[in-house]
Structure 1
C-alpha cells in the first residue's frame, strides 16, 4: 500500500518540531479543572488541611512571642513550660495535617494521571493507519509517559503548594498586621521585587521546557527504532554502528545542553530570591530593632515578626516559583491535550447498529456464514498534506474530488462478491488491490461511493461488529513479544487448548510448535523474530481459523511459503473457509485458478473480470500476466533441475 498521498502529520500537525514553536493554547487551564472535577471531594479535604496548616504556621511564632514576653522576661516558669508543650502539640498536629495533604494529593494526582493516560491510549487506538505511518513511535510514547507523568506535579505538588501557600500567606499577614502594622508594611513593600524575576524567568523556562520535551521525544524515538531486532539487524548489515553512535551523541548532546540551560535558569531564580530575602530580613531587623530601643515594640514581638517574616516570604517564594512551575506544567498538559484533540478520520456514528450476521450479533459460538461484499462506484484517495491539521485530523473536502492534491488510488470502482464465494484480486504492484481490501474492514473510508457488507454500508454499522465479521491475513504478520499461545488467543480469548491445537494442525504449524521445548508457551521474541517468515504467516492463518469470520481477506498471505507448503495451505484453507466470503490478493496466479471470479485491477480501476478460463480466453492483461509468470516458473524449475 502506497502512502505517498497519505495524510500528513507535519507542519501544523503532529510533529515534534512543529509543536516546539507553539505557545500554550488558551483554555488549557479550564480543561485541567474539568479533568480535576471528579476529585472535588478530595480537593475540599486538601483545602481544609491546607487551611489548618496555615493556622499552625502563624500560631507557632505567636506562641514564641508569648513565651519571651510573658514567660522568659517576667521569669514565669509555668508559662514557659505550658507554651513549650503547646509548641510540641502543634508539631504533632501539623504532622497529621501533612499526612492528610500527602494522601489526598497523591490520590488526586495518580487518579488524574490514570484518567489522562487511558484517554490518550484510547484516542490513539482510534486513529487511522496513516497516523501511525507518519508519527514517530518514541514521540508518541513520550506523550503517554513523560508528559502525562509531568501533569501529576500539577496536583501532587503545585496544587498542594498553591493552596497551602495562599492560605498561609493570608493568615500570616493578618497576624503580622495584628502585631505590628508598621513592620508589615515595610515587608510587603518588598513583595513586587519577588514577582518580577519569576515572570521573566518563567517565560524563558516555558520555552526551554517545551524544547527539552521535544528533544527527549526525538531521542526516545531513535532508541525505540534502534533497540528492536529489525533495527539492530539493519545497522549491523550496513556497518553503521559508529555512525549511529555519532548521531545519538548529537541528539543526547542537544538534550544535555537544553537541560543544563533549564537548570541554570531555575537556579537563577532562587539565587535572586535568596538575595532579596536576606535584604528584607536585614531591613526588618534594623527597623524593628530601633522600635525596640525606642520602647514602642517588645523584643518578643520583634522575634515573632522575624519568624513570621520567614513564614510570609516562604509562601511568597512558593507562589513566585509556582508561576514558573505552572507555566512548565501547562506545557505538559498542552501536549497531552494535543493528542486528545486528534479526531479520527474513521469513526463510529452515534446511531451505528450491529451488522446482522456478524459474530458479535450472533454470539461468539455461532457458526460463521459468508456475507455479500459490494463496492458501489467507490473512489478513494489519501488526504493530502494540507487537509490534516493538528487540532483535528478530520480531512476537509475529503469527499470532494475538486479539492486537495492527493492522487486517486481507486476510481469509480464497482464489483460484488456474493456470499460464500472466492474473489481474487490481481494486477501490477500499486494498482490499488490492498486499498480495496482495507476499505472492507474500514481501515479507511471511501472518499466517494459506498462499501456494503451484507447489504449494509460499513459506515452505518459498529466498528466492533464489522471487525468481528472481517478476518485479515496480510503479507507482513505482526506478533507481540509474548508466547505463541498469547498471540493465538488474541484472535479468540476463550479458545480451549483443543481448539488451539486443531487450528494449528489445520494451518500445518502444529508439528513445528510441538517440537519446541515450551510448545505453545514459547516466547516468540520482538515482532516474532524467533520465527521464520513462513512460520509467522502460518501463525497468522491459525489466528484467522480461530476467529472464524464470515468474510476473509488474504493479502498475499502465502507469499513467504515455498510451493509445497503453499499448496498444502491452499488445500487447508479451501476446507476451512468453505461457506465464507473470501477476498484474496494473489501473487502466484496458479493458486487462484478455482476462484469464482477474478478481478484484474490496474491504476485503480477494474480492467477485466471473470473466471480463470474466461480471462485466459480473452487474451488481455490477465492472460499476459499469467503467461509471463508461467514462463518464469518454468525457467526457474528448469534451472533447479539442472542444478
Structure 2
C-alpha cells in the first residue's frame, strides 16, 4: 500500500539540525540568544522606555538607604528637627514615585512580552501551515500541538519577565555595590567575597537544569500526543472497540509518572545551593555588626575612619537591598538555561525547510482563465523514508498494527521497519485529461491512485517529470492559485467542530445565503439540514460525528460545489451514500463537471461507466487506458477486475 512509504523528510532535517547544534557547542547558545533578542526588535521604542524606567527606579531605590545615614548622623545625631522632617518626607515621597513608575514599567513590560509571545505563536503556526503534507504524515499531531502550546507557553515567563528582570536586578546590584563601596570598601569585600564562587556554581546548576528541561518537554510532548491520539473521537472508538482501555490507561500513567518525576527533579535542581546562598546573605549583616561594632567600641579604624552608627545601618540596609537582586540574577541564570532548551525546540521547527513553496514571481492563474487540461509527463515519485520518525520510535508496534486495522491511512499505520528498501510509488506516469472529461482511476489497493491525485494540487512534489495544468508546470504556479483551482472530496470527510454554515462557508467566506443553499440543494442535503433543530447553525461535533456518514459526505460535496473549482478530484466521493442519495448527487455533479476536469478514484461501477477515460493503475504504473468497452475487449487487468468485482453487480451498487 502506498501509504506504507509515506514517511517525512523533516525528521532527517531535524536530526541534522540537532547534530549540527551539538557540534557547534557554545555557539548554539549564542545563536539562540541572538535570535531571542532579535524578536524584541519590533518593540525597540517600548524597550527603551522600560530601560529608562528601570534606571530611574533603581536610582530612586538608593535614596532611602543613603538617607538613613544622614538621618542618624546629621539629623538625630545633631538634634536638627527640621532636617529630620525633610529627610522623612523625602523617604515618604520616593517609594510613591518609584511605585507609580514601576506600575507603568510593568504594563509596558507585559505588553512587550505578550507581543513577542504572540509573534512566536504566529511564526510557528504560519511556518507549520507552509509545511508539506509529508511533514504531517510523519509527525504525531500531539507533538506538533506540544511545540505550539507547551513549548511556547513554557518560555512565556522568560520572555515576559526575564529580560527586564536581568536589567533591573543588574542595575540595582551595580548601583548598590557602588554605594556600599563608598560607605566602606573593606566591608564590601567581606560581604561579597564569595560571590564569584556562587556565580560559577550557578552556571553549572543551569547546565543541569537545561538538560532536564529538554527531557521534560519531550516527555510532555509524548504525553500530549498520547492524549490527542486516544481521546479524539477516532482514537476512543479504537480503544473501546478493541477493549484496550486498561492498556491505554497503563501507558498514560507510566508516561505521566515519568513527567511528574522530571518536573520534580527540574524544580529541585540547585535548591540546596540556593538555600545556602540565602543563608549566607541572611547572616552577613550579623558579621557586619560584629566587625563594625568592634571598631566603634574599641575605636580602632580597621574598616576606615569615620565609621558611625549611621554608616552601619545604611550599609546593612544596602546589604538587604542587595540580597534579592543577586539571588534573582543567580536564579535567572538557571531559569535561562532551562528556557534555552525550549527555545531550541521552537527554533528546530522554525528552521525546518519548506520543501514545497512558491517560486519567485510564481504564476497566478485565475479560475476563469483556466480550461482545466491536466497532463502528467513521465512522472516519478516515491515517499521518503525517515528512520528518525517519531511514530516509529514513540509508538509501539502493537498499537500501530491496531491502528492499521481500523484506519489504514493513519500515520500510525506505518508498520515498516527502517531497514525496508524504498518503494517507488509512481513509475513513469504519463497521461492527459482534456477539459470537461471525467477520468477514472481504477486499480488494486496501494497501486498509487491517491498519490496521483495528490500531485495535482502539489500536496507532494514529483521526484522527476512534470504535472501540468493548461501547459503550466504546477511548480511554476502559486500555491494559493492552485488551491483556488482544485476542489477535493475524499472518502474520509473532515468537518470542523463548528456549525454546518461555518463548514460550508470555509470554501468561500464571501458566498451569499442563496449560493450556499443552492450548493446544498445540488448535493441533496438541504432538506435534511432544515429538518435539524438549528438548521444551518447546527454544530456538527468533533469531526462531524453528530452526522451520519452520508450526511457528512454530502456536506463535503456541497462545500466543493460552493467553491466552484475548475478541477475536481473525487476519491470516490459517493462511497458513503445509499443508492438513492448517490443517484441524486451523481445527477448534481454532472452539470458541475461540464467544462471542468474531473479526476475520480473509482470504486463504484456507476462512476466507471460514466468516465470518458479510464486509467488502470497497478504497482505505480498505468498499465491500461481507454473506455470501459475498449478495456473489456483487451481482456487485461481491467477486464479481470471487472469480472471479479463488478460484473455481478447492478450499476448502482458499490463494491468493496
Q: Select between 21-30 and 420-429 the one with higher mean Cα deviation.
A: 21-30
Give the SS at the match of 1:607: strand
Q: Does 1:33 align with 2:42?
A: no
Aligned residue number for residue 202 of structure 2: 198
8 A Cα contact 1:380 1:410, kept in partner: yes
8 A Cα contact 1:555 1:585, kept in partner: yes
Separation (CA, whole Å) in 2 of partners of 1:257 and 1:378: 52
Q: Does 1:525 align with 2:520?
A: no
Q: Does 1:493 align with 2:509?
A: yes
Separation (CA, whole Å) in 2 of partners of 1:535 and 1:8: 33
Aligned residue number for residue 393 of structure 1: none
Separation (CA, whole Å) in 2 of partners of 1:255 and 1:599: 52
8 A Cα contact 1:14 1:135, kept in partner: no
Aligned residue number for residue 383 of structure 2: 382
Separation (CA, whole Å) in 1 of partners of 2:466 and 2:421: 22
Of the candidates 174, 182, 205, which is equivalent to residue 170 of structure 1?
174
Alpha-carbon spacing, 1:163–1:256, altered in 2? closer, same or farther (3 Å) = same
Separation (CA, whole Å) in 2 of partners of 1:500 and 1:452: 31
Q: What whole-Å deviation, never above 9, does each CA across 1:52-108 have from its counterpart, x for those lacking one?
A: 122122221101111111122223222222111111111111101211221121111
Displacement of 1:370 = 3.7
Displacement of 1:10 = 8.2
Q: Select between 407-416 and 369-378 the one with higher mean Cα deviation.
A: 369-378
Root-mean-square deviation over aligned CA pairs: 2.3
Of the candidates 397, 419, 439, which is equivalent to residue 435 of structure 2?
419
8 A Cα contact 1:378 1:447, kept in partner: yes
Alpha-carbon spacing, 1:451–1:629, altered in 2? closer, same or farther (3 Å) = same
Separation (CA, whole Å) in 2 of partners of 1:264 and 1:318: 16
Q: Does 1:323 align with 2:333?
A: yes
Aligned residue number for residue 264 of structure 1: 268
Q: What whole-Å deviation, never above 9, does each CA across 1:423-448 have from its counterpart, x for those lacking one?
A: 11111111111111100000000100
Give the SS at the match of 1:424: strand
Separation (CA, whole Å) in 2 of partners of 1:617 and 1:139: 52
8 A Cα contact 1:205 1:328, kept in partner: yes
Displacement of 1:563 = 2.8
Calculate the TM-score normalised by the size of structure 2. Answer: 0.89
Separation (CA, whole Å) in 2 of partners of 1:87 and 1:35: 39
Alpha-carbon spacing, 1:386–1:351, altered in 2? closer, same or farther (3 Å) = farther
Separation (CA, whole Å) in 1 of partners of 2:523 and 2:642: 27
Aligned residue number for residue 276 of structure 1: 280
Q: Does 1:455 align with 2:459?
A: no
Aligned residue number for residue 220 of structure 1: 224
Q: Does 1:515 align with 2:531?
A: yes
Of the candidates 358, 363, 367, which is equivalent to residue 358 of structure 1?
367
Unaligned 5+ segments in structure 2 are: 300-304, 391-419
Q: Select between 290-299 and 164-173 the one with higher mean Cα deviation.
A: 290-299
Q: Select between 187-196 and 410-419 the one with higher mean Cα deviation.
A: 187-196
Q: Select between 23-32 and 37-46 the one with higher mean Cα deviation.
A: 23-32
Separation (CA, whole Å) in 2 of partners of 1:141 and 1:4: 24
Separation (CA, whole Å) in 2 of partners of 1:459 and 1:201: 51
Separation (CA, whole Å) in 2 of partners of 1:250 and 1:10: 29
Q: What whole-Å deviation, never above 9, does each CA across 1:342-366 have from its counterpart, x for those lacking one?
A: 11221111221212x426xx6xxxx
Calculate the TM-score normalised by the size of structure 1. Answer: 0.91
Separation (CA, whole Å) in 2 of partners of 1:426 and 1:113: 50
Alpha-carbon spacing, 1:63–1:108, altered in 2? closer, same or farther (3 Å) = same
Would you say how many aligned residue pairs link Structure 1 and Structure 2?
611
Aligned residue number for residue 349 of structure 1: 359
Q: What whole-Å deviation, never above 9, does each CA across 1:378-419 have from its counterpart, x for those lacking one?
A: 000112326999xxxxxxxxxxxxxx9531111111000111
Displacement of 1:29 = 0.5
Displacement of 1:282 = 3.0
Give the SS at the match of 1:376: strand
Displacement of 1:42 = 1.1
8 A Cα contact 2:12 2:386, kept in partner: no
Separation (CA, whole Å) in 2 of partners of 1:131 and 1:294: 78
Displacement of 1:149 = 2.4
Displacement of 1:151 = 2.7
8 A Cα contact 1:372 1:419, kept in partner: yes
Separation (CA, whole Å) in 1 of partners of 2:632 and 2:560: 32
8 A Cα contact 1:358 1:466, kept in partner: no
Give the SS at the match of 2:4: coil
Aligned residue number for residue 593 of structure 1: 609
Alpha-carbon spacing, 1:571–1:636, altered in 2? closer, same or farther (3 Å) = closer
Separation (CA, whole Å) in 2 of partners of 1:84 and 1:417: 91
Separation (CA, whole Å) in 1 of partners of 2:238 and 2:595: 43
Displacement of 1:471 = 0.7
Separation (CA, whole Å) in 2 of partners of 1:68 and 1:236: 78
Q: Does 1:100 align with 2:98?
A: no
Q: Does 1:556 align with 2:560?
A: no
Give the SS at the match of 1:608: strand
Displacement of 1:286 = 2.1
Aligned residue number for residue 312 of structure 1: 322
